[in-house]
Structure 1
Amino acid sequence: MVIPKIAQDDQADYEGELTIVIGKDAKDVSQENALDYVAVYTVGNDISSRKLQRDPEHAGRIPQWGFSKGFDTYAPIGPCLLASSLVDDPKNLHLTTVVDGEVRQDESVDDLLFECRYLISYLSQGTTLEKGSMIMTGTSGGVGGDMKPPRWLQLGTQMEVRISKIGTLRNGVVFAE
């Protein structure tokens, strides 16, 4: 992952997340039927530039998420796509994030802030989630910005995000020149 110059000043962060790929157009989906719209699951690493997301000096008066998470190479996914038919319920999957050999996240997907069914249902209200749309599920914590003191991504940082049944996404950090 390449951290752009604008985000190299103690703010680049990570979040290991389950990523959902929608398999058919979904609009106004009920929570009860939400998983019927999932084609595959994969592993995601939601990279964020926290100052550009939250600090009024950098983000403006209102926190925002688009610009701070949308840089080239942010949000890598992989290592493979796991068919939804092979997952009884995604909340039973286990997520582990390791940064430079240190376990930072170690939790069940059920511990995440929003359950997969809820996310699909909520995001499809009034908006069509087109086939191929991806949803990163969020995290319940364990990210560098939550540590005391914060531990931001640095040049050379090595990360692994593992989700049971899917595999391990590996990324290193480089800084743009």
Structure 2
Amino acid sequence: MSHPSLSGPFALGTFADGDGPAFPGLLGDGRVLDLRAAPLPVDGPLTTRALLERWDTVFPLLEGLAGRAATDGTPVGDLRVLAPVEPRQVFQSGANYRTHVIDLAVAHRAPDDPRTAGRVRAETAAMMDRRAAEDQPYVFLGLPSAITGPYDDVVLPSWCAEPDWELELAAVIGRPAFRVDREHALDHVAAYTIANDLTAREMVFRPDMPAIGTDWLRAKNAPTFTPLGPWLVPAAFVGDPQDLRLTLTVNGAVRQDETTKDMIFDVARLVSHVSRTTPLLPGDLVLTGSPAGNGKKWGEILRDGDVMEGAIEGLGVQRNVCRAEAAR
């Protein structure tokens, strides 16, 4: 996979020098400017989340500092790249790409289902049209403890039989948002980044509790199941978030390749929808769903040694090696 260039002149990230402490840095021209010595108006410890809390003030200052990265910065290859932000809350949109939902509906048909694949596809497409018309996205909660870095190993738990990949665009909140309308929702998004929202596929539906439905705690939240980053790319540089290409390879084979145009609910509708129920805070993540091409479609699962590379146009690329947890 080629490494796509970043949108805009700089991005924000979290780094460490060897085993040293994490620090926020400004990435530009392949170099990282340590922001700990920069005159930035934040309260308390300097982190990317602290910068997001003062984003309207901080962003113009970062623009002014961007040129120094090329002259005073450390080569990014000399640093550890960590998850770019520690969110308080993670909101995950499910079933938000048309082709993906159709593929899952076909793959999850019961063995005795008399419908043809074509009929299932048509009925699922009609269902999604109804959802879009009724303005009812499906969003559930993730745990920040599942987040890992963009180049860290992903640990496949010993209890997980069907680990699966799901590349996603993540919106990063800057201004707090509570009960905002769709027209103003993107004003509250400071940046975008890449997330791979892994799933223990066999844990999604609880056969012992069919009336309750999905078990997202077990299916989504194992440690390292959400590789994040590598960077926070300011929304001002990204342009239209509904015109970005997502590509994921497993061991070099393309498995997901779609644009955000295939979303049922766009980023603005998702942010607005979440904010109707709960306040969104600076640094929070809104994961916007995954396109077609997960392992269920290909008849594959992740195994020890598999290498995933996920890229989103203008946002960079992450690379994670899967490691099997020792049986306990």
TM-score (norm 2): 0.51
Mapped pair 1:43 → 2:194: yes
- Separation (CA, whole Å) in 2 of partners of 1:69 and 1:32: 31
- Separation (CA, whole Å) in 2 of partners of 1:89 and 1:79: 20
Q: Which digits, 9 at most, give the CA deviation of each residue in 1:108-130, with x for residues without a partner?
A: 11213431111101111121011
Is contact 1:19–1:135 with CA below 8 Å preserved after alignment? yes
Percent of aligned pairs with the same residue?
A: 37
Structure 1: gaps spanning 5 or more residues:
none
SS of match in other structure, 1:169: strand
Mapped pair 1:172 → 2:325: no
- Separation (CA, whole Å) in 2 of partners of 1:156 and 1:28: 44
Aligned partner of 1:6 in structure 2 is 159
1:80 to 231, 241, 245: 231
Runs of 4+ in 1 over 3 A off after TM superposition: none
Question: How far is 1:25 from its partner?
Answer: 1.1
- Separation (CA, whole Å) in 2 of partners of 1:114 and 1:151: 28
2:309 to 148, 160, 165: 160
Matches within 5 A, 1:8-47: 9=161, 11-47=162-198
AA of the residue aligned to 1:171: N
Between structures 1 and 2, the one with greater strand share: 1
Is contact 1:17–1:136 with CA below 8 Å preserved after alignment? yes
AA of the residue aligned to 1:115: D
Residues matched between the structures, number = 171
Question: How far is 1:38 from its partner?
Answer: 0.5
Mapped pair 1:103 → 2:254: yes
Q: Which digits, 9 at most, give the CA deviation of each residue in 1:139-175, with x for residues without a partner?
A: 231100122xx20111111001101111101111001
1:143 to 284, 294, 303: 294
SS of match in other structure, 2:318: strand
Aligned partner of 1:127 in structure 2 is 278
AA of the residue aligned to 1:160: E
2:207 to 56, 76, 97: 56
TM-score (norm 1): 0.92
SS of match in other structure, 1:168: strand
Is contact 2:167–2:291 with CA below 8 Å preserved after alignment? no
Aligned partner of 2:135 in structure 1 is none
Q: Which digits, 9 at most, give the CA deviation of each residue in 1:4-24, with x for residues without a partner?
A: 1111x2x10011111111112
- Separation (CA, whole Å) in 1 of partners of 2:206 and 2:278: 30
Is contact 1:56–1:63 with CA below 8 Å preserved after alignment? no
Is contact 1:113–1:138 with CA below 8 Å preserved after alignment? no
SS of match in other structure, 2:278: coil
Between structures 1 and 2, the one with greater helix share: 2
Aligned partner of 1:118 in structure 2 is 269
Work out which structure has the larger RCO, using CA pairs closer than 8 Å and 6 or more positions apart in sequence. Answer: 1
Structure 2: gaps spanning 5 or more residues:
1-153
Is contact 1:97–1:160 with CA below 8 Å preserved after alignment? yes
- Separation (CA, whole Å) in 1 of partners of 2:287 and 2:226: 9
Is contact 1:12–1:152 with CA below 8 Å preserved after alignment? yes
- Separation (CA, whole Å) in 1 of partners of 2:190 and 2:179: 18
Is contact 1:95–1:109 with CA below 8 Å preserved after alignment? yes
Question: How far is 1:45 from its partner?
Answer: 0.4
